[in-house]
Structure 1
Amino acid sequence: MEILFDKQRNQNLEKLLWLSVGLIPAFSDWKINFINLGDLLILTSLIFMILIFNKDIIGRKSISLALTLIIISIVNVLYHSIFTTGYDSIKGILYIAKISVFSFFVAYTYELIYGYNKFDVFLKINTKIAIALSIIGISITMLLLFGSEIPQKIIWIYTRSDRASYTFRGTNIIRMRSLFSEPSYFGIYLNMIIALNLFRSSTRKVNYSHLFFLCLSVFLTFAFSGIVTLILILFLFFIKNRSDFLKNRKLILVLTTFLVLLSIIFSKQIYETIILRAIVILDGTDTSAINRIFGSWKYIGSENIVFGNGFGHTPAIWNNIAYVLSDLGLIGLSYFAVIIICNFKINHYLTTMFIAFSFQRGGYMNSYYWYSILMIILYTRESRSIQNTGNIVFEEDITVLISTMNQVNIIDIQSRNISVNSIIFNQITDPLITKYSEMINKDKSVMYSCKDKGIGKSRNNLISRCSSKISILADDDMIFNDNFEKTVVRLFNNFPDADVLVFNLDNMGSRYLNKSYFDINKNNFERYGAARIAFRTDSVKKERISFSEKFGGGCIYSSGEDTIFLNDCLEAGLKIVAVPDVIARLEDSRPSTWFKGYDEKYYFDKGALFASYTKKIWLLKYIVYSLRKAKLSEGRLSKKDVFTLMLNGRIAYTSLKTYESFYNSELQNFRSDACKISVVIPAYNARESISSTLDSVLNQTYKNFEIVIVDDGSTDDTLKLLYGFAEANTNVIVLSQKNNGVSSARNKGIENISGDYVLFLDSDDTIEKNYMEEMIEQAVLSDSSLVICSYNLITSSGKQEVYNKFNSKDPLIDYLLYRVRLQTSCFMINRSFLDKFRYNEGLNWGEDIYFFSKLLANAKDISFVNKPLVNYNCIVRDGKLSNFSMNKIDLEFEYMTLMVNDHEIIKNQKIKEIISNYRLIASLTYKLLEADRNGIDSETIRISYLKYEEVINKKITFRAGLRTVKLWIARQKLRRRVIVKSEK
């Protein structure tokens, strides 16, 4: 969207535009036959905005809605002109013109304010105008109270009113009104401004002194409908913010004092205009309110219920729902109902107010009504604000990131029309290219080259090298538009809370074009390619978002890396906005490097792609895609064939096998035996159990491994036994240290390993003989940071298989919520990833949960082998833990407190809430109940309970379904069994 005038040089002109728009409600009562001054202001503003906008505005979503209403109006007039006797066609055409002006005004103003982030400006100007009109109204009222004739001589002449319009129903009660609005209408207008300030999504700080003044002005109108509506607004605001409101004692005191003083000073006015009026309405003496809601329906003709009676054939009734139904029938009413329902889903407070206003102000042909529609749809949008000046973007903050292949010299940036900084990553896949420079600098460009493959690796390499505020992803077949960088700067500054923008490209399919400005969400993110994406570099790096190296050209699966990238952005809470602006075009001559037609591999890879981010409704997604897209194969594949291929793609994705390997054609061009596994075993007085542990490792079917055992100051013959194993096996390394704890022993083991992957094994556990073979194949094929398997739980009653099923897209969430029970030996860890982390040697309890929470929080890729490959021995552990120690409760609190303050674990607010508002409470509660079961005396438990009482009884704000219910029951049980017992 381009503007025809320079905003910096025309700020006064822009302010004049917003002022004229803001004054529309003030003039909507000044009628001149068929139209009023509000209508003229709308027409003037619309013409001005049409001159400002260029032609690209046509075709956007909001404009389409306006055109839909106009088409409904035209059809209505044509129908009645043909089939309704005596219908005034000229009047119908005039109404079409009027409704066209109204609807286009709403659409254009919406696009201008939304596209240029003018929400706060718009609300600020409207509030100031409302205050100014209130001051005028109070001044007129004061003049009347003191018997001045100035209003009669000056104001009433121009406002076409008399003194009667300032008094209440023939009494001497002076009611406040403004220049162009009688009291009840003026009260509605002020209520609308108050509601927008209280329930808007704008991030402009609420000025409560302004709102207090506007509320007083509504009260001084002594309009029953206005005051009742104000009470409704304040009640809804209280419901929405009741927790914060009740904490503000000062505000409660001020409001109470104000209401008491108001009741004393204006007791007579309150009684006559509110209490007495309510009584006569309720007893049926005053039927005006009932008529507004119910009486208006009598004008609806049952014989014309579909098309209505036609424009202008309904009196100016109050009930707008009845008004629309009478004039336009069910067709017109359905249109308005859809808009109201859509807005209600986004901001039900404001939309409720709008429905209330519809019963207070008659006539959808009134400019006031359309102005209220504009305000509602504007302020049901999400918040947009610059959170700090660091978000402001300039042209020098932009870097274009270009992926290319098989270039010997740096590509010609000038021919790509790029004037800003650029980084090029060149992947050499052609075996004939043997000589190339790893880095070439030229002007504002630098090109890095390496023998590598995969678009995901290329994009990730570029992102890691970029230090600019804004990154623009590009391919080497893109030619950028003139001044594209100005467009990028303008839009990032207009959408300061947007982390990612998705632009348009020329000569791309029309179905992929953005027709307007809108937010991209989980329902529409799958249609955008990477070479149209720009993002705030810090936002992406902070959330550790990267491109999947399994999908896209040169990868295991042929496409979809851009879809996964956008999905990961949404999962991380980043805001993505689609914009209709074009920044580049594609060269037609370049064929796709990966697309080979709609063949078996295409659908197989689609199945794998959907499996990567679709968890809950995957089956429905596969069925719908098969039904819709099977035709693309031009009859070669049936819908059933496509569904089977996609399903096989999903199955293959869990083990990251390619299309070829899945169908037993070939695996990969590597031997997994080339990867060495290091097994780290800490041991302390483990003579009785460690022999079985070592035998299970030495008997593996996979042979490329080493065992590093760290004796942690054992006092039995454990060390002597270990030296015997080392003498008999060259791949067994034995280290010893003073008794510093299991964390220290594991860290020492890490420092002395040489493998590519690491397994931590406890000295009383064993692993199945195919453990390493299964885990290393998954690790190498998926290039995962972590591979996790299931386990067998060995107890005195036998062996129980425990399968780790992850329900969440974030395994850390399942781990922290006890949805999965992961043991230390269930993890195989990539060495390069492990090097970033170490066990906390200051912890003597919970060190494994703390450590693996860090790994799960930071792992780029996690894959699973859903087979029980570990034997977790609880028989030995039960013997060790038979003497319960209350010290464990303090240690539990210690490590959980460390976790909640560790930025390497707390990547988002949800994780923090799980730990602080669920896991910590649950840990302490269950440990105290365990202490009771182990026979710890009641007084000791009571002392520990009181120590952590504030934490245990804290409100559980994170909802974990049945686990939350279970925890609530456990807390009640703890108090009943432990605390009450102690009190007795």
Structure 2
Amino acid sequence: MKIEALTHNWVEFNNKNNTIWMYTILISLGIASTVTDWMVGIFSMSDFIFGFIVVCLMVSNNYRLTIRQIMGLFILLGTISANIVLNYYMNDLFVLKTGIAALIKIAFYAFVLMGCYNLVKNRQQEEIFLKIINVIALIVGIIGIYITLAIYLNGTLPYEFFWKFTRTDATSYLYDGIENLYRTRSIFAEPSYLGYYLNIVLGINYFNKCNIQINKYINLFITIVIVLTFSYSSIAIMLIIQLLHFFTITNIKRIRFNWFYLMCLVAIIVLISLFWDTIQVTIIDRTLSILDGTDNSARGRLLESWQYINREHIFMGNGVGHTPSIWNIYAYILSDLGLIAFLLFCLLTAYVLLSNVKLGLLFVCLNFQKGGYLSPEFWIFLLLIFIFMGDDYFEKRKIKRKLLK
């Protein structure tokens, strides 16, 4: 009996210990997605958190990779290594040091996030992880509103300590340098970056295939904070998300009275009334400038991002890490890594679209909003997509094949 009791106690202790490690890793990962703009020297704060996560995975004996993932990792790193070698011998403008640094960064991110993916999937912690992400998003949103109020109150409330590791200049929250036209950016470097992050959370809340329901008031709050960024691209993507969600949950022929929708309508009317001047400048005037072709930001995302493609080296690109900062990830990959890598990324996009059409559309939209495949935020976005997208199309094909046998 004593041996059985000791065994039971040990199992209970081990399970409790594993749970603590799991929560530590998931919370750290959630925080990492919010501090990608915090810089310590040449490293993002997220890089240090990723290092901490690797240590936690190793110490708790929770790091796992499948044979298929190891093969995928070798193919990814082999492709980039081949690109570096080709550029080193054939491209006079290629800097080997930059290429190797980018290779190490990609290897590090892939190594960390594959381990996190397996932890969440193997232990079936999707719901816990999504709830953690939403709690952190709520905190980020509250901080953002607080900072915006503090700025409106002319520094009566302290707030700059939130920005110690990122930008503090007024241009980071003023719209086009206009006085008294403040945009919410929270702990991110720019309002559009906050909008990018919140749109990821909102999209996964609505379109995850894990049957996880997030409280509608949390989604409403996230939506309001996205509007307060007055980032044209963020608001446009949020509206796409809301339309896709609305036509999922609502049968147009049977629209019934709903207090929540009434409250949403009232919130929209109040926001429009309070911020009409800001909406006029940031959305209405901006739309007109996009339509007449004078908006530099939209032109940069859709057209000018492709200008760095080197036609002389179309198959191998400029070399990993050698394209200047641009907004569009598709143009980024074609410019840096060449045509083959670009086509592979297009195949990845097609795979996500076939697995989950709505998350796939979000994936495409956000890849046009914010560039930087060497940014930790992009890799966290990939991780979240793969965890929550499901695989409807491929599951249906498997079922169909079984029925035909």
Output the TM-score relative to the length of structure 1.
0.38
Distance 1:11 1:302 in 2: 52
Q: Partner letter of residue 195 of structure 2?
A: G
Select the structure that is richer in helix.
2
The structure 1 residue matched to 2:321, chosen from 290, 312, 329, is: 312
Partner residue, 1:362: 371
Query: Retained in 2: the 8 A contact 1:202–1:382?
Result: no
Distance 2:252 2:21 in 1: 41
Distance 1:335 1:53 in 2: 33
Counterpart check, 1:22 vs 2:30: yes
Partner residue, 1:83: 90
Secondary structure at 1:126's aligned position in 2?
helix
Partner residue, 1:297: 306
The farther-off stretch of 340-349 and 257-266 is 257-266
Matches within 5 A, 1:922-937: none
Counterpart check, 1:40 vs 2:48: yes
Matches within 5 A, 1:472-491: none
Distance 2:340 2:391 in 1: 30
Deviation at 1:209, TM superposition (A): 0.7
Counterpart check, 1:381 vs 2:390: yes
C-alpha change, 1:221 and 1:111, in structure 2 (3 Å) is same
Query: Retained in 2: the 8 A contact 1:63–1:104?
Result: no
C-alpha change, 1:42 and 1:207, in structure 2 (3 Å) is same
Partner residue, 2:263: 254
Deviation at 1:158, TM superposition (A): 4.1
Q: RMSD of the alignment, in Å?
A: 2.6
C-alpha change, 1:48 and 1:524, in structure 2 (3 Å) is farther
C-alpha change, 1:351 and 1:50, in structure 2 (3 Å) is farther
C-alpha change, 1:160 and 1:522, in structure 2 (3 Å) is closer
Partner residue, 1:189: 197
The structure 2 residue matched to 1:225, chosen from 221, 233, 243, is: 233
Partner residue, 1:335: 344
Matches within 5 A, 1:422-821: 523=398, 614=405
Q: Deviations over 1:71-129 (max 9, x none)?
A: 11111111112222242212211111100012222322221111111111111111110
Partner residue, 1:759: none
Q: Deviations over 1:24-64 (max 9, x none)?
A: 22111123454311222223323432444578x44433343
C-alpha change, 1:85 and 1:210, in structure 2 (3 Å) is same
Distance 1:316 1:167 in 2: 22
Distance 2:14 2:82 in 1: 41
Deviation at 1:338, TM superposition (A): 2.1
Count of residue pairs brought into register by the alignment: 391
Query: Retained in 1: the 8 A contact 2:160–2:168?
Result: no
Point out where structure 2 has 5 or more consecutive residues left out of the alignment.
1-10
Query: Retained in 2: the 8 A contact 1:7–1:14?
Result: no
The structure 2 residue matched to 1:163, chosen from 164, 170, 175, is: 170
Partner residue, 1:6: 14
Deviation at 1:150, TM superposition (A): 4.4
Distance 1:206 1:243 in 2: 21
Q: Partner letter of residue 71 of structure 2?
A: S
Q: Partner letter of residue 222 of structure 1?
A: F
Distance 1:284 1:523 in 2: 47
Q: Deviations over 1:861-899 (max 9, x none)?
A: xxxxxxxxxxxxxxxxxxxxxxxxxxxxxxxxxxxxxxx
Partner residue, 1:176: 184
C-alpha change, 1:521 and 1:173, in structure 2 (3 Å) is closer
Distance 1:315 1:60 in 2: 36
C-alpha change, 1:246 and 1:134, in structure 2 (3 Å) is farther
- The structure with the largest alpha-carbon Rg is 1
Distance 2:277 2:51 in 1: 44
Query: Retained in 1: the 8 A contact 2:354–2:391?
Result: no
Q: Partner letter of residue 120 of structure 1?
A: E
Distance 2:69 2:396 in 1: 19
Distance 1:245 1:49 in 2: 51
Q: Deviations over 1:355-397 (max 9, x none)?
A: 11111112100111111111111111269xxxxxxxxxxxxxx
Deviation at 1:153, TM superposition (A): 5.4
Q: Partner letter of residue 82 of structure 2?
A: V
Partner residue, 2:7: none
The structure 2 residue matched to 1:216, chosen from 221, 224, 232, is: 224
Partner residue, 1:414: none
Distance 2:164 2:397 in 1: 58
Partner residue, 2:283: 274
The structure 2 residue matched to 1:239, chosen from 226, 241, 247, is: 247
Partner residue, 1:102: 109
Distance 1:67 1:46 in 2: 19
Distance 2:163 2:124 in 1: 40
Query: Retained in 1: the 8 A contact 2:167–2:189?
Result: no
Query: Retained in 1: the 8 A contact 2:94–2:318?
Result: no
Query: Retained in 1: the 8 A contact 2:317–2:339?
Result: yes
Select the structure that is richer in strand.
1
Partner residue, 1:761: none
Distance 1:221 1:158 in 2: 20
Partner residue, 2:124: 117
Query: Retained in 1: the 8 A contact 2:38–2:165?
Result: no
Secondary structure at 1:23's aligned position in 2?
helix
The structure 1 residue matched to 2:295, chosen from 286, 292, 295, is: 286
Distance 2:205 2:144 in 1: 21
Partner residue, 1:352: 361
Q: Deviations over 1:932-968 (max 9, x none)?
A: xxxxxxxxxxxxxxxxxxxxxxxxxxxxxxxxxxxxx
Partner residue, 1:386: none
Query: Retained in 1: the 8 A contact 2:309–2:335?
Result: yes
C-alpha change, 1:58 and 1:184, in structure 2 (3 Å) is closer
Q: Partner letter of residue 276 of structure 2?
A: S
Deviation at 1:303, TM superposition (A): 1.5
Point out where structure 1 has 5 or more consecutive residues left out of the alignment.
384-518, 527-566, 572-612, 615-984
Bigger relative contact order (CA 8 A; separation at least 6): 2
Output the TM-score relative to the length of structure 2.
0.89
Partner residue, 1:326: 335
C-alpha change, 1:18 and 1:233, in structure 2 (3 Å) is same
Q: Deviations over 1:655-712 (max 9, x none)?
A: xxxxxxxxxxxxxxxxxxxxxxxxxxxxxxxxxxxxxxxxxxxxxxxxxxxxxxxxxx
Query: Retained in 1: the 8 A contact 2:65–2:118?
Result: no
